[in-house]
Structure 1
Amino acid sequence: MDRAPGMSVRTKLALSYAGFLMLAGVLLLAAVWVFLLRYVPERATLIVPSGAPTHGVFPIRSNLLRVFAPRAAAVLAFLLVLGLVGGWVLAGRMLAPLTQITAAARTAGNRSLSHRIRMEGRRDEFRELSDAFDSMLEQLESHVAEQQRFAANASHELRTPLAISRALLDVARKDPARDRGEVIERLHAVNTRAIDLTEALLLLSRGDSGTFTREDVDLSLLAEEAAETLLPLAEQRQITLDVTGGAARTSGSAELLLRMVTNLVQNAVVHNLPAGGAVTVHTEADGGTSVLRVENTGRPLPPDLVPTLTEPFQRGTERVRTDEHAGVGLGLAIVHSIVRAHAGTLDLAPRPAGGLLVTVRLPGTP
């Protein structure tokens, strides 16, 4: 509901300055009256000694008031004009930073998030507000760019299996003699990948929203469950899978945290040496933090590649697999989303001998 425009803040401040100045003037004149004029007599008898001059001014209250009142009124009028003009100027100078922030907010409202205020001068309340607003715009711009990039990548990834399915169906329709078993098998593989990608996108969205029921969870039990599930895959690839450490309790979604641990262990197994590799999963309680570490052998990773591994659909060239465990490019992105939803931190560091060390820190519970 629109409201009628009210008095501007600058006008209110100018009137406030003028009002306070007028009040100070009235109080000063009242003090003159109370402490000076009230002690001046209203009437007096003048005794002139013989030979003394009889002309001059004798201060009595009526004479002083007759002279003082017009000048006091003039002073109050001057204070009123000075308060209005000076208050208007001072209010404009004080509110100038707020005008900059308002203009930046309107610019951002027009979907131009690249604008920054970058207010100069000494650090005061307006400068802190400006810096906070710039930081918010930077985060919003980064988030919007990430969402746009994610949407473009997701649409591309989903379009690929659909296009393959359509091509297979067109080939089967044009060539009725073609082996249907082969077509069905390929369609099944393509549809399975599309379903996996859709489920991964839904899981990523659920982690980003943070809407889940929290319960007490022990990361060590989740690590053992994930290792037991992926043990056949590790044995198939001749990779040693060990779980060490003790209890590491935290509060969160057991389903999401299990998916987090499973993704980390599966990545560690898949992106490893062709044979003779190792994966170590370690859990511990470090003060008020529950720690999960997943370390694996593998090829050396370039340092500039590691920070990009948590971005959706970003795969390092040396980490791409073409077998049945190629994944959809969302494994570490889902891990990052789940960790962030649980107010934790995710750290990826390349091992000097090759492979990756992933450290997850979550708020611990007693």
Structure 2
Amino acid sequence: MHRAPGLSVRIKLTLSYAGFLMLAGVLLLAVVWVFLLRYVPDGAIMARGFVPNRSDLLRAFAPRAAAALVFLLLFGLLGGWVLAGRMLAPLTRITEATRMATNGSLSHRIRLEGDQDEFRELADAFDTMLARLEAHVAEQRRFAANASHELRTPLAISQTLLDVARSDPAKNPGELVERLHAVNARAIDLTEALLMLSRADQRSFAREVVDLSLLVEEATETLLPLAEKRGVTVETSGDITPAIGSQALLLQVTTNLVHNAIVHNLPGRGTVWVTTGVHAGAAVLTVENTGDRLPPHLVWALTEPFQRGTERIRGDHAGVGLGLAIVKSITQAHDGHLTITPRPAGGLRIDVRLPGPRPRRAW
């Protein structure tokens, strides 16, 4: 936005200091003048010598008063300039840091010294914002690099299959079509997952009261064929659990958690427990499963995009590595909290805590 140039804040503060000092000086001289007038007669009196009247007093007082006001003006301008500079020095550092951040340098910090005051609070808040912004930009760069790699993989496979088919016209086209269909389906799943993740990050959704227990029933019913195919038992329990959010996004959270619990499990003898409930005014969705033992450092990395546990799993329903990343993003978009804990016997326990509806006030 283009704006006309104006006086700097330092000049404005200097003029304010000088003007206030001049006003105080004028008021002080006025009080002195009124005080003197009380003891000086209006006319000249000759009694045992000369006694000055008000005219003589004015001629003697006015030049000295003017000189005092000039001194106060100069002193106010000089002192105000110095004081304003010292007061605005922290603001200058904050402005320089802002310009550096605008130019792309997010690693710079103000680290303002001194006691806690308004400028210190502003500088600390700005440093915190820069730290979060730097971490967010780094995360976005990693995500963009990983997404590019993941999107390039199916395209490269398709290109290889087409090159092989072109060099060998006698090759069975049915097998080629089948493999291209699988690669294309994977690329579509990845694109839809990226769109879902972007939608959750933007928080562009309407909020309503959603029963998590109903979402659990819908998700488990949808994934029941997959569980039966892998020999995994899914057990659900819980009461009505109202939460505030988007039904479509929260269904995606439930589906992703149950899907991951089924896929990353003990084949042929695994179990998944899904429970819902209200605890301390919050709606809680818990998904537990049996499986391999996972170290804590690996558990915390599972919510990063394109992480698939101990290896990059391939095969049916392997996913695209965005399941828990989407769960984390949607949970944060709903002002919720995601907790992942390794089970001592193997597998994971994942808790999603979401805000519940506010209780109605009794009138």
Quickly name the TM-score band, shorter chain normalised.
over 0.9
- 262-271 or 249-258, which moves further after superposition? 249-258
State the partner residue of 1:35.
Answer: 35
1:282-332 superposed Cα distances (whole Å, 9 cap, x missing partner): 1111232111111112111111112211111123325x4332121100000
For 1:143, which of 126, 136, 143 is the aligned residue? 136
State the partner residue of 1:51.
Answer: none
For 1:118, which of 111, 126, 142 is the aligned residue? 111
State the partner residue of 2:339.
Answer: 347
Question: What are structure 1's unaligned runs of at least 5 residues?
Answer: 49-53
How far residue 350 of structure 1 moved from its aligned partner, in angstroms, is 1.3
State the partner residue of 1:308.
Answer: 301
Name the SS for the 1:166 alignment partner: helix
Distance 1:168 1:342 in 2: 43
Distance 1:123 1:315 in 2: 46
State the partner residue of 1:19.
Answer: 19
- 66-75 or 155-164, which moves further after superposition? 66-75
How far residue 70 of structure 1 moved from its aligned partner, in angstroms, is 1.5
Distance 2:204 2:314 in 1: 34
For 1:127, which of 120, 131, 153 is the aligned residue? 120
How far residue 215 of structure 1 moved from its aligned partner, in angstroms, is 2.5
For 1:325, which of 303, 314, 317 is the aligned residue? 317
1:114-133 superposed Cα distances (whole Å, 9 cap, x missing partner): 11111111111111111111
State the partner residue of 1:265.
Answer: 258
Distance 2:3 2:54 in 1: 55
Letter in structure 2 aligned against 1:362 = L
Distance 1:2 1:325 in 2: 55
Distance 1:58 1:45 in 2: 6
- 294-303 or 81-90, which moves further after superposition? 294-303
For 1:337, which of 314, 329, 335 is the aligned residue? 329
Distance 1:293 1:304 in 2: 21
Query: Is 2:348 aligned against 1:360?
Result: no
Runs (4+) of structure 1 moved beyond 6 Å? none
Query: Is 2:235 aligned against 1:251?
Result: no
- 212-221 or 255-264, which moves further after superposition? 212-221
Native 8 Å contact 2:44 2:52 kept in 1: no
Aligned length: 358
For 1:242, which of 208, 230, 235 is the aligned residue? 235
1:223-245 superposed Cα distances (whole Å, 9 cap, x missing partner): 11111222222222222211111
Native 8 Å contact 2:212 2:276 kept in 1: yes
Question: What RMSD over aligned residues (CA atoms) do the two structures have, in Å?
Answer: 1.6
Name the SS for the 2:292 alignment partner: coil
Name the SS for the 1:301 alignment partner: coil
For 1:281, which of 269, 274, 277 is the aligned residue? 274
Distance 1:80 1:338 in 2: 62
Letter in structure 1 aligned against 2:182 = A
For 1:188, which of 181, 186, 211 is the aligned residue? 181
Distance 2:336 2:229 in 1: 33
For 1:156, which of 130, 146, 149 is the aligned residue? 149
1:251-282 superposed Cα distances (whole Å, 9 cap, x missing partner): 22211111110000111111112332221111
Letter in structure 1 aligned against 2:342 = P
Letter in structure 1 aligned against 2:40 = V
Question: What are structure 2's unaligned runs of at least 5 residues?
Answer: none
Query: Is 2:174 aligned against 1:171?
Result: no
How far residue 339 of structure 1 moved from its aligned partner, in angstroms, is 0.9
Native 8 Å contact 2:287 2:351 kept in 1: yes
Query: Is 2:99 aligned against 1:70?
Result: no
Distance 2:300 2:14 in 1: 54
Letter in structure 2 aligned against 1:61 = R
Letter in structure 2 aligned against 1:115 = H
Distance 1:47 1:286 in 2: 99
Distance 1:301 1:287 in 2: 30
- 137-146 or 159-168, which moves further after superposition? 137-146
Name the SS for the 2:109 alignment partner: coil
How far residue 46 of structure 1 moved from its aligned partner, in angstroms, is 4.4
Distance 1:82 1:351 in 2: 74
Distance 1:250 1:35 in 2: 76
Native 8 Å contact 2:151 2:190 kept in 1: yes
Name the SS for the 2:297 alignment partner: coil
